[in-house]
Structure formats: structure tokens, C-alpha cells
Amino acid sequence: MASKFRVAAWVVVGAITGIMATLQVQALARNTVSPLPLEELQQFAAVYGLIKADFEYLDKKNFKDFKESTSGKFVGVGIEIAAEDGLVKVVSPIEGSPAARAGIHAGDLITRIDNTAVKGLSLSDAVKLMRGKPGTKVTLTVLRKSENRTLTFTVTRELIQVQSVKGKMIAPGYGWIRITQFQADTLSSFVKKIDALYKEDPNMKGLILDLRNDPGGLLESAVGVASVFLPNDAVIVSTKGQMPEANSTYRNTPSDYMSRPGDNPLDTLPAGVKTVKLVVLINGGSASASEIVTGALQDYKRAVVMGTLSFGKGSVQTV
């Protein structure tokens, strides 16, 4: 068995070496260092994907869809998905979405989309099948391992508008803030909500940060939210990869949570937010960026974490 793995490894290495050599020769033949043509980049992306499961080439259309999904406004069924065993796993249904109302759960494995088997499809292809015009229907067949049965849901697509941050006072001195997804505007909305709660009750004794069924989102938003409660320059998260440029450390510093220059939203926060008692709620639908926030607050002993095991996504994608 070990020899088979070695042979397979050398086949992949040989394929990559061959295509890299081809690209290099073609570039030299052109006597230029200008960007490679699209078809050559796609060729390299296909080979690179053999050894890196989270790598996927995004063409102009798919990149537009990706940007749309992190903006909090798109047409679809309203689920965050990930790949697992060749199928599509529901990380979390978006709160209030058609999928959530239909009864789709975090952890469900989608096996068919209408009449198309999911096995072998890329995530982007699966997304394309589930997207469509508002008012149209799509049938999702799912395997629910927790109940050991297959279920079928017919879901009507609609415009999904995700309200990233919600919050209210739940008792005198105690506030509740929920983040449904980490979007581009999450940090600014989060700061505004905290300011509003402190104005409602300046003697805040405790705060609940509800990240249940939060599938994640933008890394910089997660870094910013964790920074609200942590000391200046505290390390929030670090990434390590096979290439040196993949190794990064993100801290509580404006350059790591602000995508563009401007006023630091954290400057307006009440001083008490750094010491207020904090509880973080998570469950199996809490993934990615929500796990980064939870882990940072737990590591610094800044919060008590309650709930069930989170989804367990320990990767960061760069686009």
C-alpha cells in the first residue's frame, strides 16, 4: 500500500513539474513576463487542485458570485456549504432563509440537486444548480446521518438579504448580540449595536455573543469582532501553509481588520466593553470565521464558551 502511495505522489509531482515546465517554456518563447493566458492558468489550476482540495479556480462569473455571497444579498436557497466525501455538506442554513424554513439542518449531506447527482461536482457547480431566479423551485435530496435517513426538500428560491448583526437587552444589565454571518459591513454594524446597547444601559454587567449557526465569512471581519474585546496588538489568528506567503499573523491592529483607510470603528467603543463579562454561544453550525472569534476569545480567557462542538473548519481561502 505504501508503495502505491509513493507512486501516486510521484505521478502528481511529475504532472506539476511537467505543466510548470510547459508554462515556463511558453513564457520564454514569448520572451515576456506578462500574465499567462487564461487557458494556461486554468490548466495549472486543474493540476494544482489535485493536491490541494480547497483550491479552486474562479473565473469572472464565479468570482462575482463569491463577492455576492459575502455581501449578504443574493438569490438562492440560503445555505452555507462545504465539500465532504465528494458530496455537499450543509455548514449552516442562513437564519430565516427558504432552506431554514424548509427544515434543512446543519450537517445534512446534499446528494442530489433536482435530477443531478452531486457526487463529483465542484462546490461552484453545486452553487450554480441551487441558484436561479426568485420564485423558481429546486429539489434537494439530503442524507441526514444523525437520523440515518434520506430526505427530500422542495425549496423556493428567493432574494436572500442577510442582516449580519442583531441585538437587544434581555435583562437589566445584560445584552445579547447575534452575528449571523461575517460580511463586509459586519464590524461597523457590530460596533453600532454595542454602542446602542451601552447607551440603553451604561452599567452593562454581561454580554452574550451568539454565533450559533454562523457559517463564517470574511476573515478581516472576524479579526475586527475579536479585536473589540481583546487588547491592542493581540494575536487573533495565524495561518500556515506550504508556501511562505501563506504564513500570516492577524492582530488587533487596524490594518488587519480594515480593508480601506479611514476612521477606526473601534475608537468609538465604550471602555467597559474590554472588561465586561462575556459568554459566546456556538453549535455545530458555527464555522470558519465564527470559530476564529471563539477560539481567540477563549485562548485569552476573555469569554466563557457554551454550546456544542463547532463545525471544525480550520482553513482560510485567499482570493
Pair 157, 138: CB distance under 8 Å: yes
Neighbours of 252 (CB within 10 A): 21
Cα angle 76, 191, 259; round to 5 = 65
Annotated active-site residue 313? The verdict is yes
- Cα distances from 301 to residues 204, 226, 270, in angstroms, run 19, 12, 20
Backbone angles phi, psi at 155, to 5 degrees: -120, 135
d(CA 58, CA 260): 24
d(CA 77, CA 100): 9
d(CA 223, CA 251): 7
d(CA 70, CA 239): 21
Annotated active-site residue 315? The verdict is no
Half-sphere exposure (CA, 13 Å, Cβ side) for 223? 25
SS (H, E, C) 115-126: CEECCCCCHHHH
Backbone angles phi, psi at 268, to 5 degrees: -90, -5
Region for residue 113 given its phi and psi (left: phi exceeds 0; alpha: psi -120 to 50; beta: otherwise)? beta
Backbone angles phi, psi at 67, to 5 degrees: -60, -35
Give the active site residue among 299, 301, 310, 315: 299
What Rg, from alpha-carbon coordinates, does the chain have?
A: 22
Cα angle 19, 22, 25; round to 5 = 150
End-to-end CA distance of the chain: 37
Give the active site residue among 69, 288, 290, 310: 288
Annotated active-site residue 267? The verdict is no
Residues annotated as part of the active site: 288, 299, 313
